[in-house]
Amino acid sequence: MRIILLGPPGSGKGTQAQLLVQRYGIVQLSTGEMLRAAVAAGTPVGLKAKEIMASGGLVPDDVVVGIISDRIDQPDAKNGFILDGFPRTVPQAEALDELLKHKHLKLDAVIELRVNESALLNRVETRVAQMRERGEEVRLDDTPEVLTKRLASYRNQTEPLIHYYSERRKLSTIDGMMAIDEVTRAIHRQLLALGAVEPKTHGKTRARSAAKAAPARKAKTAKKSAKTPVKAAKKAAKSKKAAKKATKAGKRIVKKAAKKVGKKKAAKKTARKAVKKGAKKAAKKVTKRRAKR
């Protein structure tokens, strides 16, 4: 993600740049810091800038663009960067476009923090008055007079960039007078709308849900696994009980059948005895009759 923050002094660009750096893992590129770092490192561009600054001159755009070119080639700028304080003029913006085109990179967004200048001046006046009441030293560049000059310089030099980037459909305007966290959220929404960042919220939600569900699934599986032998034991017990019942029922049936058979046998035996007894009686009667004759 490669973005530019635009806004007058006191609009909160520095604060928002730091928050964006932390959130998206990109680097903040400040021209002042880059110039000092290039000079300290003794790079060819840095040495050229050092010579110009030593003579009291302003570092030309081509030198500044060269420093930016070297800086965005460094590994920590691979994920993207925020340009703070550059470009300040339309020619600088055109030079930056050429640089990015040459490196096959694109500018994702230009965020303008629009503020009320009168409100900014009132803030500075209030802050300075409070510092003086506490006996604190007031910075020379942090007075209403200096801010008025810087705001005039911004209007003359930098405001044309708003039109430049608006024509190229890169500009997004945010109300910089909102609370810091509200401005941050508005910038994030705008970057999402432009496709500069991926909507990872749902993926994170799903990941969090999956992470929460995983222990539950494991517990459920463990519970199920624990239940399996219990179920098997219960099933075996039921089968054993059923077999026992069936055995008892079988025994009852056999016993009942045996009783019936026994009764039948007894009846037959009784019948045979009766028949035999009756035959004996009949024979005796016949013998008696014959004897009388």
- Please pick, among 36, 88, 114, 123, the residue that the annotation labels catalytic: 88
184-193: long-range contacts at Cβ-Cβ below 8 A with a sequence spacing of 24 or more?
Answer: 184/16, 184/19, 187/16, 187/20, 187/111, 188/23, 190/109, 190/111, 191/1, 191/3, 191/108, 191/109
- Please pick, among 36, 114, 123, 150, the residue that the annotation labels catalytic: 150
- Please pick, among 13, 48, 50, 170, the residue that the annotation labels catalytic: 13
- Please pick, among 139, 168, 217, 251, the residue that the annotation labels catalytic: 139
- Please pick, among 36, 114, 123, 127, the residue that the annotation labels catalytic: 127
Whole-Å CA distances, 248 to 241, 261, 290: 10, 20, 62
Residue 189 falls in the annotated catalytic set: no
Residue 127 falls in the annotated catalytic set: yes
* Catalytic residue ranges: 13, 88, 127, 139, 150
